[in-house]
Each structure stands twice: as C-alpha cells, then as structure tokens.
Amino acid sequence: MADSGTSTASSAKSSPRSSARRRTRPWLRILVGGTTGILLLAVICAAAGVLWLRSVTKASLPQLDGDPHISGLSAPVMVRRDAHGVPHIQAATQDDLFVAQGYVTAQDRLWQMDSFRRNANGDLAEVLGSRLILHDKVKRVMGFRRIAQRMYAHLSPEQRRYFDDYARGVNLFIEQHQDSLPEEFRILGYKPKPWSGADSMSVATMMVDMLDTQWDIKRSRAEIAAKLNNPKLEAQLYPVGSWRDRPPTGDILDLTQPQPAPPSSDDDEDDDRTRAALDGPFVHSVELSKLRAALGRSDCDGCALGSNNWVVSGKHTASGKPLLANDMHLSLTEPNIWFMADLQAPGYHVAGVTLPGMPTVIAGHNEHIAWGFTALFADVQDLYRERLDGKGNYQAADGSWKPLLVEHEVIPVRGGSDVKLDVESTEHGPLLTPIFSKDPQVVALKWNLFDPNLNAVPLYAMNVAQNWAEFSAALGTWDFPAQNVVYADDQGHIAYHAVGSLPMRPGGLAGKLIQDAQHEWQGYIPFDALPSAFDPPSGFLATANGRVTTEKSAYPITLEWESPYRIERIYKLLQGRDHLTPKDMLAVQTDIYSEVDQELAHRFAYAIDHSDKPDDRLRKAADVMRSWDGRLTTDSAAASLVDQARIALWSLILEPKLGKLSEDYRWGEKDFAEEEIVMHGDPDWLPPGYKNWDAVLTEAVRRGMQRGDAPADITKWTYGSWHVVDIEHPLAPFLPLLSRIAGTGRQPLSGDTTTVKQVGVTLGPSQRFTMDWSNIDGSTENIVLGESGNPYSPYFRDQWNDWYNGTTFALPFTQAAVAANTRHTLRLLP
C-alpha cells in the first residue's frame, strides 16, 4: 500500500499535467453524462412523438362499417367499399348522393381538402408559418377566393344545390368528429372551418392555376430574348410544333410552311420605361426559381404537367367495342390528388376519379359514355404594360384615365405578424407589383379566369350525358382549364374535342410578349372552331399535350406545345394494329422507350469516336450508349449516361450566351429544341473554346459522368440509382417525423419525360384508366398510393405496387360486381 501511495504522490509531482487531467475528470463525467442524457432524452422524446403520432393517427381512422346517423338525408344511403377501399355510394335521391359524397370524401381526405382550399385562397401561412408568405401573396394577387365566390354565385340553381349538398356532407362529418379529426389538424393545432360551395370552387381554381399558367414562362422568355438579341436563336430555343407532331384531327402537317415568328421582345423605342425593363432587372427582382418553389411547382428539368389519352374504335379491338385509355400526369402527392368513387342515384350513375372538395366525377364513365382528359396548354394569359399616374389611376385602352381597383388583403402568419397587402387591378387584371416589387415596369396579368362572364363548370352535365350530342353540348360550355377530351360510348362511337374559352388576339399569337392597349383580346374562339373529330376513318384518336392544330386551323391556340415524343410513340404502338385489348392499353401507358434518347445516345457515341483525346472511360461510355435499346430501365447504364449528358449539354450551350438567365429557360418543347440544335449542329450555338460539335458533345458526356454518384466502372451506373420517385407527405418538410409513418422513400424509377410513361422525381401518372365497352366491370382504374389519407388505414398505400409495377385492377360498376367485391358496408341513416 505504501508503495502504491508513494508511487501516486511521485507521479503527481513529476506530472502536473496528469494532475490537471485528474482534476477535470468530474467535469468530463458531467459533460459526457449530460450529453448522453440529452441524447437519451431526445431518443425518448422522439419515440414518444412517434407513439403519440401513431395514437392520434389511429384514432382518426374512418368508420367503414355500421349505421351512423347524419342529419339532412331523406333516406338511408349505402356506402360499400371494395377491396381497395373505393366507395360505391347508392342513394335514393341525387341530393342524398352528394351529401354522402361530401361525407365519405371527408372521411378519407378532410385535411387534404382543407389544404387545397388554403392553397387556392392564400391561407397556408396561417397554419404553416412565414415560409409560405410568398405563396400566399401570389394567390391573393390572383384573387382566387373572389373568383371562386363569383363562380359559385353564377351556378344554376340545380348545380348550386349539389354543391351545397356536398358541403353539408363535409360539415356533418366535421361536426361529428371534432375529437377525432385527421392527425394533421392535431399536429398543427387547428380545426377546419365549415365547408361551403364556394370552397369547392376554390379547389377548382387550384386546378385551373395548375394547368393553365404560362405567365412566368412569358416573363423569363422576355428577358432571355432581350439577352440573346437574335431572333433565329430565340426561335430555336422556343420551337412551335415539330415534324414529329400527330394532330388528332388527322390533318397532314405542311412542313413547307414557315414557323410563326417569335414574339417581339421589345416595345416602342420611345418608351424609356420599357427599355429600362429590358436592360435592367426584370425577372430576377424575384427569382422565378424561388417563385416556383413557393408555389409548389418543381424547378427540375422536364417536370411540366401533362397527360396521355386515346380512343380506339371497335374495328381495331379484339371485342369489337371501343377502348378508351387515359393517364393524367400531375404532381405525385400523398395522398393522391384524385379520390376514386362510384356514385349512384336515380338518373345518375358515374364512376371514376373525383377531386377531393368537389362534387361529381371529373374523369371516368357512366352507363353509356366514357371520357378522359389531357391538358391543351392553350395560351389563355397575357402580360400588359400599364401606365400609372402616381395618383391611383391607370390609362385604359381607350386612352382615358381610370381609378385602379384596390382589394385590401391581410395574410395571417403563424408565429408572426399579419402581412397586409393591397392588390391593385386594371381592366386587364391584377398588377404583379407585389410579387415583382423591384421591376421598373408595371405589368398586369390578363387571364380568361378573371373574366366575370366565364363561370361554367359543366361536370354534372357531362356526368349525366347519354351520347355524343349531349356530351358535346356540355363541353361547349366548358370555360377552363383548357383541355383535350377524348370520348367513347357503348354504341361504338369515338370522338375528340378541344375545350375551353380561348382568346382571339388581333395579331394572332406572334405578337409581343409584353402587350399594350393595341393588343386587346377580341372575344373567344367559337367552340365549333376548336379542333375536333368524330368517328375518324382511322378508328383512332390520341393526344399527349402536343400540337393539335395545323396551318389549316382557323385560329391559333398557343405557341407552346409539349414535346412530340409521347404522342409519336403512342401512334407508332397502336395505329394500324387490330385485335387490341385492355392489356395492350396498359402496355402503352407504361412504355419506357425513348426514340430521341436513343438517337442522341448514338450521336454522343459518334462524337466520342471522333474527338481528339477520348480517355478509356469515355470510350467505354460510347460503347454502352451505342449498344443501347432506348429503354429507360432502372438497371440501364446508357440511360444514365444520356440523361446526364443532355442536362450538362444545356449548361454548355446556354450559359455562355445567357449567364444566370439560363436557369430560367423553360419551354414545353425543350427536348425537341435540344434534339434539333444537336442534330443540325448549328455553329451559332457552338460554345467558345470548342472547335466543333463533336468536342462539345464529348465534353457533355464527360461532365455528365462527373456526378458524385457515378462509379468508376461506368457500366455499373444504373439509371435507378439516381432517377427515383420520392412521394412524401406535404408536411414532411415542416415535420420530418411524418416520414416515419408516411412517404414512399426514394424508389428507382424507369422512364423519363420523353417516354409515354412520363415521370420525374415528383411527377408521373396520377391515375391510369382503361374503359372497355365490351365489359364495363372489366374496366380498370388505379391511382398512385391509395384512397385513404391515414397512414394506418389498409387503403393508404395498397395501390402503390400496382402503380409502381405497371399493373392495375378492375373498378366494379354493376350491382352484381359491386356486391361480389364489397369488403365494408356503411349505412348512413337519416
């Protein structure tokens, strides 16, 4: 013991540093122990949070069986849910039917409905905080709440009654479930306000905004055009149609006709304000990328919304009856944007997809007709330069001065102060100043949605139509959004019609990007003058957001179509074939071959072969691309090489000419523009420092391979390792805890934006529908995840595997089929 003590004392004397260490050990123990305790507490809190979230989520699961009483019904309503939780609602009257539709939709999607309403009305910051202020400002400037109220007020008494019925059903559910509302309300600490018919119209305006907005592209194009100062290069960046187009009218495109000239990007030379706008800050006073992010619009390449639809007459099908297929490409959300339903009452039996918050069925079929949509991408917006006198007046088109119309808006902000906003409008529409406050140019937005004379929502008339005459009469009153509609019926007819109130412009569409009083609209294109077809000799009609007009068309519709590759591929796969079946329709919907990607793969390989100093990795890349079959499978290395090279190529050719503006280049036919520039090898696009296009394309491949996830062995760079789908709950960015119980996670995804299966990280087919008039109960439909918005429901994600793997299932329609597939029965009693 003495030796031990001596040793210790000796050690202490000989090593003061050791003594210091010994003196600090209690503090280290406290620090380490405290840190461990904090970490343990964090783990416990996280676990408790998960348990609490699980508890409240399970408590809000809807009642699927039993006999609940709800007031306002005239008779019991039967709600049978099938194997996928799809409600088949049968009521004694149509009023009872729409009350039940509102109630049942709220069971599965109430928080989504409220978020749709808040999205449209600019009320998201009230529950989500200051990061949504810009979003809400834009929505308040657009005035969607006022538009919704106007549209609701203009409904016919019959239509208004059904909207009110639906709202009553939603409110009955809210009243009965104050203690078991969906978990999102509990998490955010608020309760939903009562629903109204005008709220349903707000949801409708959200869809119009999603599908009919081009003004941000027009703004960016104006500055890009000014920067280029070269009409030829501008026309190449912004092509209008292509030689690959397949108009559904069957008209042959005359490729000898000149393309429409690009809109002029400059205005009167003596207007100093306009010159300043083009020479100074225009778009970048608020970056469009930030604006798109605030509005929930993806800023990625090729993430434009779109869709496919087609009809095949009985002479080309195995059954002798028509087939109709439709897959609408929208943002992939959790839950899905659509809610499937089968609605039946005397004089009304319709099944398909509904929009949560809206009565009736959007796309689907009744006992005699079926229909499907794609976006037309018609140009229904214009930007107008306005002259103000600084005293609250603007100069009208007739030269007189009129007072600005002013709406005073207040945006509540969670955890912050209210934001006050004065929205000023001219006869054209709202001034965009609150969004682009630093712009030297005062610009107003004109939109057919702002026209107080346009209010038609003919969904009910479409739902109950029994033939083409009745259906087309309903379509003739459709105002917005602009759509391509295909049709097939049980009598063997097929048809197509473009719909929407589309403006007529005195100078056509080749006018100025920023308009003035000399370019006022002159009414709307007559419905009968819009592209259409009925029982064409080919027995086939299809659209995929591409060009539907030709040089023979009486009225131009737009300068911006989507790229033609999907529609071209659909025609190649179906036209001229016989004995087609529903299985063939699904095979086309899930097709992942890209002709343009394969074509460019060969061009990239050729460039590498002819470049000055290709290294071994580049040579291997060339071999991989040269042998590729053009299918964008998740295990394809060639698909990775081509897609990444194409992305890198845009930077190579645009940044030298546009600088930072290159980030704002968006165009529906962007892919076609790239194909034409590459295949024609225009020297005007050749970047500085490159002697020929082979050098440029080789460098694009090299840069594409510099992605951080590209392996050394380029043959192992699988497409699915980086091209993924990731569907998450909309609150996940605010509350990552939700990702534990909701969301798909990152999943490898085949296809791209040039394949019939058009997909992106957050974009894809929101549903897949095939109508088979030889077997109405064999018609198929599925959405992305499932009917329920509750992660603990068996119907929350039960459709995911079908969507992801390209399979589907039947949607029962007849009484016998519904009875055979019933899994739950809920009787709503008066």
Q: Does 101 have pLDDT greater than 50?
A: yes
Rounded to an integer, the average pLDDT of 469-485 is 98
Residue 37, both tokens: 């305790």
Site of tokens 């840190």: 35
Position 20 scores a pLDDT of 40
Rounded CA gap, 463 and 479, in Å?
17
pLDDT digits (tens, 9 = 90+) for 691-720: 999 999 999 999 999 987 899 999 999 999
Residue of higher predicted confidence among 58 and 791: 791
| Enclosing H/E stretch for 640 | helix 637-658
Position 135 scores a pLDDT of 96
Rounded CA gap, 234 and 470, in Å?
44
The number of beta carbons lying within 10 Å of the beta carbon of residue 261 is 13
| Enclosing H/E stretch for 605 | helix 595-609
Which residue, 436, 547, 470, 499, is CA-closest to 141?
Answer: 436
Which residue, 318, 267, 259, 342, is CA-closest to 80?
Answer: 342
| Enclosing H/E stretch for 351 | strand 348-354
Interacting residues of 13 by C-beta distance below 8 A, sequence separation 6+: none
DSSP string, 702-749: HHHTTSTT--SSGGG--GGGT-EE----TTTTT-GGGGGTS----EE-
Q: Determine which of 52-61, 495-504, 679-688, 749-758 has the lowest per-residue pLDDT on average.
A: 52-61
Q: Does 281 have pLDDT greater than 60?
A: no
Rounded CA gap, 38 and 304, in Å?
46
- Band of pLDDT at residue 734, cut at 50, 70 and 90: confident
- Band of pLDDT at residue 552, cut at 50, 70 and 90: confident
Q: Residue 659: is it exposed, middle or buried by C-beta count within 10 angstroms (0-12/13-18/19+)?
A: exposed
Which residue, 694, 582, 593, 687, is CA-closest to 639?
Answer: 593
Provide the Cα torsion 393, 394, 397, 398; round to 10°: 30
- Band of pLDDT at residue 287, cut at 50, 70 and 90: low
Residue 816, both tokens: 């016998």
The number of beta carbons lying within 10 Å of the beta carbon of residue 716 is 12
Q: Does 40 have pLDDT greater than 80?
A: no
Q: Does 41 have pLDDT greater than 60?
A: no
How is the chain split into domains, by residue range?
Answer: 2-59, 595-725
Residue 478, both tokens: 């459709």
Is 412:125 a contact under the CB 8 Å cutoff?
Answer: yes
Which residue, 293, 281, 290, 287, is CA-closest to 438?
Answer: 281
Q: Does 19 have pLDDT greater than 50?
A: no
Q: Does 48 have pLDDT greater than 70?
A: no
Is 761:720 a contact under the CB 8 Å cutoff?
Answer: no
What sign results for the dihedral spanned by CA atoms 439, 123, 729, 731?
positive
**What's the start-to-end Cα distance of the chain, in Å?**
92
- Band of pLDDT at residue 10, cut at 50, 70 and 90: very low
Site of tokens 């309760």: 191
Site of tokens 């149609």: 241
Query: Does residue 335 have a cis peptide bond before it, meaning omega lies within 30 degrees of 0?
Result: yes
Rounded to an integer, the average pLDDT of 143-155 is 97
Position 129 scores a pLDDT of 95
Q: Determine which of 154-158, 282-286, 293-297, 440-444 has the lowest per-residue pLDDT on average.
A: 282-286
Phi then psi for residue 207, to 5 deg, are -70, -40
Which residue, 567, 497, 512, 574, is CA-closest to 539?
Answer: 574
Distance of CA 199 to the CA centre of its chain: 21
Position 676 scores a pLDDT of 96
Rounded CA gap, 253 and 256, in Å?
9
Q: Determine which of 322-331, 410-419, 439-448, 656-665 has the lowest per-residue pLDDT on average.
A: 439-448
Interacting residues of 741 by C-beta distance below 8 A, sequence separation 6+: 50, 53, 54, 57, 791, 792
Rounded CA gap, 60 and 183, in Å?
7
The number of beta carbons lying within 10 Å of the beta carbon of residue 599 is 15
Interacting residues of 680 by C-beta distance below 8 A, sequence separation 6+: none
For residues 91-123, one letter each, b for 16 or more C-beta atoms within 10 angstroms of the residue's C-beta and e for the rest, the string is: bebbbbbbbbbbbbbbbbbbbbbbbbbbbbbbb
- Residue 232 vs residues 225, 228, 257, 263, 657: alpha-carbon distances, Å: 10, 10, 16, 12, 14
pTM for this prediction:
0.89
Give the pairing type, strands 339-345 and 87-90.
parallel
Give the pairing type, strands 419-425 and 339-345.
unpaired
- Residue 721 vs residues 635, 643, 702, 725, 751: alpha-carbon distances, Å: 8, 13, 19, 11, 13
Phi then psi for residue 639, to 5 deg, are -60, -40
pLDDT digits (tens, 9 = 90+) for 590-610: 999 999 999 999 999 999 999
Rounded CA gap, 379 and 389, in Å?
30
pLDDT digits (tens, 9 = 90+) for 629-688: 999 999 999 999 999 999 999 999 999 999 999 999 999 999 999 999 999 999 999 999
Rounded CA gap, 466 and 473, in Å?
11
The β-bridge partners of 363 are: 353
Position 289 scores a pLDDT of 55
Residue of higher predicted confidence among 416 and 286: 416
Rounded to an integer, the average pLDDT of 173-201 is 96
- Residue 795 vs residues 87, 360, 730: alpha-carbon distances, Å: 11, 22, 19
Amino acid identity for residue 786 in this structure: G
Interacting residues of 27 by C-beta distance below 8 A, sequence separation 6+: none
The β-bridge partners of 781 are: 769
Is 506:519 a contact under the CB 8 Å cutoff?
Answer: yes
Position 184 scores a pLDDT of 92
Position 8 scores a pLDDT of 37
DSSP string, 104-141: HHHHHHHHHHHHHHHHHHT-SHHHH-GGGHHHHHHHHH
Q: Determine which of 419-428, 476-485, 760-769 has the lowest per-residue pLDDT on average.
A: 760-769
Is 135:122 a contact under the CB 8 Å cutoff?
Answer: yes
Q: Does 271 have pLDDT greater than 50?
A: no
Which residue, 208, 808, 753, is CA-closest to 480?
Answer: 208
- Band of pLDDT at residue 18, cut at 50, 70 and 90: very low
Q: Does 741 have pLDDT greater than 50?
A: yes
- Residue 503 vs residues 48, 249, 383, 520: alpha-carbon distances, Å: 57, 21, 14, 10
Rounded CA gap, 71 and 88, in Å?
20
Rounded to an integer, the average pLDDT of 250-276 is 45
Residue of higher predicted confidence among 219 and 572: 572
The number of beta carbons lying within 10 Å of the beta carbon of residue 681 is 14
- Residue 44 vs residues 47, 186, 188, 391, 426: alpha-carbon distances, Å: 5, 21, 22, 62, 58
For domain 595-725, the question of CATH label 1.10.1400.10 is answered with yes
Q: Does 383 have pLDDT greater than 80?
A: yes
Q: Does 398 have pLDDT greater than 70?
A: yes
Is 308:570 a contact under the CB 8 Å cutoff?
Answer: yes
DSSP state of 69: B
Position 86 scores a pLDDT of 99
Amino acid identity for residue 166 in this structure: Y
Averaged pLDDT of the chain: 88
Site of tokens 């980030």: 663
Give the pairing type, strands 540-543 and 306-312.
antiparallel
Is 79:104 a contact under the CB 8 Å cutoff?
Answer: yes
- Band of pLDDT at residue 213, cut at 50, 70 and 90: confident
Distance of CA 496 to the CA centre of its chain: 23
